[in-house]
């Protein structure tokens, strides 16, 4: 059975702060940057240059095998790893970047830490409900065609955020996810658990059968593959069918399920997914093709974003 570990780590937050300011990747949150700058004030010329330098380094080590961010989450002292893996110049530049931006980060982290600790406590009290995990895992195991429910330990790293925007990611390694949560009210625990299960589905359920089938159905069409993956899992969590069933979150078809899927596609997508869940049918090729049929207009409209 899946077990969740709720982790509060200063290094991961420091990395998240700088990488988000650098906007090295389309997933960086502009709202976070605006909110943080309101708190820490104007960036100096040296700080702006440090952020630009960080972007250049990070673009050489994007998501994947050599992901630059990984040691900040998984190692007590990331610099030991970087000294081995980066060039001498990159290592020295990276240390300088973190030194230059340390004061700005400390302003934000000091303000957000009490909230992060409250979230750690709240999630520890809720997220490892055995009956809930078993029920969700059985359902996901069936539709994603796994031989048996996974028994993974999933590390959940809590990160600083901004008001009215949370988020998550599953890009660290094969046993970790991140959740941006510090500025969310604690009454949103069910919604954050929905985000946790969205990312956990990416991490633990999609790769055995479903994603190979998607890639086989749309070979080398990476835009379609990416959008189908997110559309399907978003129809389950954090605001989809299974979030409604297991987390008691009201499914609102008038609000976006995912940034890449316009609201007008919600009802058809949710109805399709619900029929497969109700009849306990695995997500087969026919389902994938029907999802693509629903969102293909969206894909054409947003092809520059994926």
Burial label for 88, CB within 10 Å (0-12, 13-18, 19+), is exposed
Q: Taking all residues of the chain, what is their mean pLDDT, rounded to a whole number? A: 92
The predicted pLDDT at position 70 comes to 97
The predicted pLDDT at position 253 comes to 77
Tokens 């406590």 appear where?
121
Residue 129 structure tokens? 């409900």
Q: How far is Cα 164 from Cα 40, in angstroms, rounded to an integer?
A: 19
228 CB neighbour count, 10 Å cutoff: 26
With CA atoms as reference, report the closest residue to 168 among 253, 71, 239, 221: 239
Chain mean position to CA 255: 19
Q: 3-state DSSP call for residue 144?
A: coil
Residues of the chain with pLDDT under 70: 258-260, 297-306
39 CB neighbour count, 10 Å cutoff: 12
Q: Looking at residue 169, what DSSP letter applies?
A: E
The pTM of the full predicted model, rounded to 2 decimals, is: 0.92
Length of the chain: 306
Tokens 């399920």 appear where?
257
CA distances from 78 to 11, 82, 164, 230, 268 (A): 8, 6, 31, 31, 46
Q: 3-state DSSP call for residue 86?
A: coil
User: Which stretches of the chain are assigned E, i.e. beta strand?
Assistant: 3-7, 153-159, 167-169, 176-180
Burial label for 70, CB within 10 Å (0-12, 13-18, 19+), is buried
The predicted pLDDT at position 303 comes to 47
Tokens 């998240």 appear where?
16
Contacts of 176 (CB under 8 A, 6+ apart): 73, 74, 154, 155, 156, 157, 170, 203
C-alpha torsion 83→86→90→94, nearest 10: -60
């Amino acid at each position: 059975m899946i077990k969740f570990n709720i982790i509060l780590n200063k290094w991961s937050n420091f990395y998240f702060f700088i990488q988000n300011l650098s906007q090295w990747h389309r997933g960086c949150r502009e709202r976070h940057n605006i909110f943080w700058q309101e708190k820490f004030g104007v960036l100096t010329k040296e700080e702006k240059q440090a952020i630009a330098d960080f972007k250049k380094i990070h673009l050489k080590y994007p998501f994947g095998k050599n992901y630059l961010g990984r040691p900040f989450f998984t190692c007590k002292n990331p610099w030991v790893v970087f000294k081995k893996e980066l060039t001498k110049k990159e290592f020295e530049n990276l240390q300088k970047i973190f030194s230059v931006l340390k004061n700005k980060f400390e302003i934000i982290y000091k303000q957000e830490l009490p909230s992060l600790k409250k979230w750690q406590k709240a999630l520890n009290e809720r997220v490892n409900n055995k009956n809930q995990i078993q029920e969700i895992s059985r359902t996901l195991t069936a539709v994603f065609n796994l031989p048996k429910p996974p028994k993974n330990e999933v590390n959940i790293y809590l990160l600083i955020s901004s008001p009215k925007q949370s988020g998550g990611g599953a890009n660290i390694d094969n046993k970790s996810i991140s959740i941006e949560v510090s500025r969310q009210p604690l009454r949103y625990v069910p919604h954050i658990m929905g985000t946790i299960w969205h990312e956990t589905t990416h991490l633990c359920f999609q790769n055995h059968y479903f994603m190979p089938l998607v890639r086989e159905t749309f070979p080398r069409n990476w835009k379609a593959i990416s959008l189908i993956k997110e559309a399907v899992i978003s129809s389950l969590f954090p605001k989809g069918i299974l979030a409604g069933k297991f987390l008691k979150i009201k499914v609102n078809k008038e609000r976006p399920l995912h940034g890449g899927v316009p609201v007008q596609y919600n009802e058809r997508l949710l109805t399709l997914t619900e029929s497969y869940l109700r009849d306990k049918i695995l997500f087969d090729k026919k389902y994938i093709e029907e999802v693509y049929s629903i969102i293909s207009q969206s894909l054409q409209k947003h092809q520059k974003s994926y």
